[in-house]
Amino acid sequence: MRRHPEFGYEMLRSLEFLDDAAELVLAHHEKFDGTGYPRGLRGESIPLGARIFSVVDAIDAMIYKRPYNAPVTFKEAAEEIRRCARTQFDPELVPLTIEVLESCVPKSLLG
């Protein structure tokens, strides 16, 4: 599981037109406080797109059924993202990203 950013990076990097996307995939599990993986990037050294993608990916993982967890409402997921701002997620990006996602999530998942 922890290697999936690297595997995704390698797959996308081999396609020249997705080279920029490859870097976002590689960095989407980095944490704002520097405790993430695979490179332990911190703060603004994490590409902007990856900082946004990490919030989107976390919300998606929480609100849709996965083999490893039961889904929660968008409202509950958003609260968890807010709680993890400054450690896992960029605190400057969390409010706007949640606002945009809230307008895209099916109403039945909002809670």
Superfamily of chain region 4-106: Hypothetical protein af1432 (1.10.3210.10)
For residues 104 and 110, is the Cβ–Cβ distance under 8 A? no
- The arithmetic mean of pLDDT across residues 14-37, rounded, is 95
Q: Alpha-carbon distance 54 to 30, whole Å?
A: 8
Residue 2 confidence (pLDDT): 84
* Dihedral angle of Cα 98, 103, 73, 81, to the nearest 10 degrees: 0
Residue 1's pLDDT band (cuts 50, 70, 90): confident
Q: What is the amino acid identity at position 68?
A: Y
**What ranges do the domains of the chain cover?**
4-106
pLDDT tens, position by position, 34-73: 999 999 999 999 999 999 999 999 999 999 999 988 999 9
Q: Could you tell me the pTM of the whole model?
A: 0.92
Question: Which tens digits make up the pLDDT trace of 74-91?
Answer: 999 999 999 999 999 999
Mean pLDDT value of segment 10-29: 94
